[in-house]
Amino acid sequence: MAILESIRKRTTVLILIIGLALFAFVISGVFKSNGFGGGKVGSSVAEINGEDVSIEDFRAKVETASRSYPPSFTSMQLVNMVYDQEVRKTILNQQFEDLGIDVESDQIIEFVKTSGYAQIPDFQDENGVFNEEVFKSAIADWRANDPLRYDAWLQDEKAIIEAAKERLYFNLIKGGVGATLAEGKFDYKLANDKVDMQYVRIPYTSIPDSTIEVSKTQIQAYINDHKDLFEQNKARDIRFVYFEEKPSTEDENNVKAEISALMDDTVEYSESTDTYDTIPGFRNTKDMVVFLDRHSDTKFDTIYKAKKDLPSVAADTLMAMAVGQIYGPYKDGDLYKISKVMDKKTNGSVKASHILISWAGAERVSPTVTRTKEEAEAKAKELLADAKKEDAVFTALARDNSDGPSAPRGGDLGYFQEGVMADAFNDFCFNNPVGTIGLVETQFGYHIIKIDDKQDVIQVATLAREIQPSEATINTIFTNATKFEMASLDSEPENFGDIARESSYAVRPVNKIGEMDENLPGLGAQRSVVQWAFNEETSVGDIRRFNVTNGYAVVQLTKKYKKGLMSPEDASAIALPEIRKELKAEQIIAANKGKAMDAIASDNNVSLSTASAVTVKSPTLPGSGREPLVVGTAFALEKDQTSNLIKGETGVFMVKVTKKEAAPDVDNFSTYANSLRSSAAARVNGAVYNALKDKAEIEDNRATFY
């Protein structure tokens, strides 16, 4: 009933539009009883290798996750995150069960000892170190005296058990990962054997794409030979026209006029006194706080501001104005503003740098500082003398010597106003000119201070009104959206774009939407649109209007993609360049077969090139990029031997080896074998899980419930 609800909110909409809207309901199928998702079949959100993931348990976990993550996480982000966690947990638990992997209490304790849980104070002894007996005692105490905390711990314990099983499982696999000395030697030679070569390249770009004809049959054959590249999930294409509820030019002018009218005094008749009273405007009011509370969308900010803190559109003007002067109205984003300078402080903001030399016992001192106060004073005076030298670089002295957190920034503290810093520090900065370098003592230590800059600050009162669409504008937008929907539904589906262009509406396409997608470019989070597009009863060409953020979207479903291999039409963007490359290579090879390298270069108007110290691990050729097959072929040749024509990545090549340099002998290849072993072990967790997931039979029912 979205349309009727919108109409009820807009009392000035014409009766004609109500009729049109009701007509839209009927012909766009909104009154269908089955809703978006069809029937809720079954009670599992997923089935993984025959094991159900209960929707009730899943919803509970999503609810728990919603309390742990910030509000910026959308409901679908939470659903998808919990789903991925459940799939992972289920797949791995099936492995644990098949292999008989379980953990005992001592393994749980060992896991806690080597994880973040060991940092919980309740589990530590008097020295701040995790203690097994203290840990057991704390859990027993929670169980007896703090049931809520104990229940929370039981949930943590489940997670710990799962994590401990994972660690054990992956460690077992890593234990089987190794590399022999022979493999280490091979890897060493791949990286260090070198070859110099001369080569000629006939680039594929030398043959225009327009001369290569590719049939649908050839594309289909390429798809069949490279199925992994062309697997696709269910997807949808849509296009839409967005009717945004934004202020019109008339709305902007009205807000500008309203705010301008508040500038000057007004005269109002008082019935109680039978007199006319003068009401001070923004220009003359004596109580700015009350005036802005009553008339402005922003309150009076008493904080003095430097130029960088003022609106960029007005900063230069405001800083140049005298106290009491007014600027505006001016537009700043979605607001019209009038600003009045209430007060100004010359040099009210200081930019300074410092070198902090602290001592043991000073406030907030780092534990690494062990010098005495006397030693700190002596060092500070020494650095002061260095800082005052003509060739001194203050930032370098600060980076190398300061105990303060600003040391990595060369001691830079940025701009600050009075009252921010410690008293002695504050007084030095505001009572001395720019360029002064001096020494002060505070509770934090000794400070060698350099005054870098000073700026004026001003106190500004700003009368602001937000520019919002008026009721008339909102009604017009609603009317336009409804009329466009009606016109589109009354016409053939393919006329959607033409009808939009006739009214100068922009049609925006969104391609390959996934079944669990939520965000649509140009519309934001619009799960209802995605659900509609994937509804079995929604056909290609169907049109529907949706209430979206700040307006309406009239959406048309333009294409459906089935799960499985892409069609030749959908795959052509990927397949055509590769097929053309193959066909071009065949042409180039046929035209140059039997020719010498010099003749190939001359006949194809290309130059002979050279490459030096090329390795198999870095198979890059100057001007050609990565060419692993070409480089691999060169390594298979002897010195002064020339190859046949080679189908490379960027063209057809012929190479001649001019030098081969074997890697220097190494006494032992254990270092290289260990490196291979470590590299392989580091990939185990991700690679093993991804392999298990790819092999698993997963039925994803999320779209049925969300």
Mean pLDDT of the chain: 90
Q: Provide the pLDDT confidence category of residue 106 given band limits of 50, 70 and 90.
A: confident
Which residue did the predictor score with more confidence, 266 or 339? 339
Q: What is the pLDDT of residues 644-691, one digit of tens each?
A: 999 999 999 999 999 999 999 888 999 999 999 999 999 999 999 999
Query: Is residue 263's pLDDT more than 90?
Result: yes
* pLDDT number for residue 26: 33
* Region 419-438 average pLDDT: 95
Q: What are the CA-CA distances from residue 45 to residues 55, 361, 706 (Å)?
A: 5, 60, 10
Q: What are phi and psi of 17, to 5 degrees?
A: -70, -35
What is the secondary structure of 550-583 as a DSSP string?
TEEEEEEEEEEE-SEEPPHHHHHHHHHHHHHHHH
Q: Which of 279, 321, 257 is nearest to 461 (CA)?
A: 321
Q: Provide the pLDDT confidence category of residue 15 given band limits of 50, 70 and 90.
A: very low
Q: Omega before 509 cis (within 30°)?
A: no
* Region 297-309 average pLDDT: 93
Three-state helix/strand/coil letters over 259-270: HHHCCCCEEEEE
* Region 100-128 average pLDDT: 87
Q: Provide the pLDDT confidence category of residue 286 given band limits of 50, 70 and 90.
A: very high
* pLDDT number for residue 42: 59
Q: Provide the pLDDT confidence category of residue 262 given band limits of 50, 70 and 90.
A: very high
Residues 698, 533: Cα–Cα separation, whole Å: 23
Query: Is residue 350's pLDDT more than 70?
Result: yes
Residue 21 neighbours by CB distance under 10 Å: 21
Q: Which H/E stretch holds residue 76?
A: helix 75-99
Query: Is residue 24's pLDDT more than 90?
Result: no
Q: What is the pLDDT of residues 151-188, one digit of tens each?
A: 888 888 888 889 889 989 999 998 888 899 999 999 99
Question: Reduced to 3 states, what is the DSSP secondary structure of residue 456?
Answer: strand
Helix axes 181-192, 670-682, angle to 10 degrees: 90
Which residue did the predictor score with more confidence, 513 or 276? 513
Q: Measured between alpha carbons, how far apart are the two ends of the chain, in Å?
A: 20
Q: What are the CA-CA distances from residue 227 to residues 362, 559, 560, 577 (Å)?
A: 69, 22, 20, 16
Which tokens go with 579?
Answer: 């097929």
Query: Is residue 23's pLDDT more than 80?
Result: no
- Residue 573 CB-half CA count within 13 A: 2
- Residue written as token pair 């090549």: 653
Three-state helix/strand/coil letters over 154-216: HHHHHHHHHHHHHHHHHHHHHHCCCCCHHHHHHHHHHHHCEEEEEEEEEEHHHCCHHHCCCCH
Residues 701, 664: Cα–Cα separation, whole Å: 59
* Region 28-46 average pLDDT: 50
Q: What is the pLDDT of residues 458-511, one digit of tens each?
A: 999 999 999 999 999 999 999 999 999 999 999 999 999 999 999 999 999 999
Q: Is 181:666 a contact under the CB 8 Å cutoff?
A: no
* Region 30-58 average pLDDT: 69
Q: Is 566:622 a contact under the CB 8 Å cutoff?
A: no
Query: Is residue 558's pLDDT more than 50?
Result: yes
Which tokens go with 99?
Answer: 């292999």
What is the secondary structure of 684-697 as a DSSP string?
HHHHHHHHHHHHS-
Q: Provide the pLDDT confidence category of residue 577 given band limits of 50, 70 and 90.
A: very high
Question: Reduced to 3 states, what is the DSSP secondary structure of residue 416?
Answer: strand
* pLDDT number for residue 4: 34
Which tokens go with 570?
Answer: 């959908």
In 437-592 the beta strands, taken as DSSP E runs, fall at: 437-442, 445-466, 508-514, 519-520, 524-525, 543-548, 551-561, 564-565
Which tokens go with 80?
Answer: 């998808």
Question: Reduced to 3 states, what is the DSSP secondary structure of residue 280?
Answer: coil
Q: Which of 405, 552, 413, 532 is nearest to 476 (CA)?
A: 552
Q: Provide the pLDDT confidence category of residue 110 given band limits of 50, 70 and 90.
A: confident
What is the secondary structure of 377-411 as a DSSP string?
HHHHHHHHHHHTSTT--HHHHHHHH--STTGGGTT
Query: Is residue 6's pLDDT more than 60?
Result: no
Question: Reduced to 3 states, what is the DSSP secondary structure of residue 274?
Answer: coil
Residues 612, 631: Cα–Cα separation, whole Å: 11
Residues 540, 237: Cα–Cα separation, whole Å: 9
Query: Is residue 19's pLDDT more than 70?
Result: no
* pLDDT number for residue 17: 39
* Region 84-105 average pLDDT: 92
Q: What is the pLDDT of residues 312-340, one digit of tens each?
A: 999 999 999 999 999 999 999 999 999 99
pTM (two decimals): 0.70
* pLDDT number for residue 367: 87
Of how many residues is the chain composed? Answer: 706
* Region 611-615 average pLDDT: 95
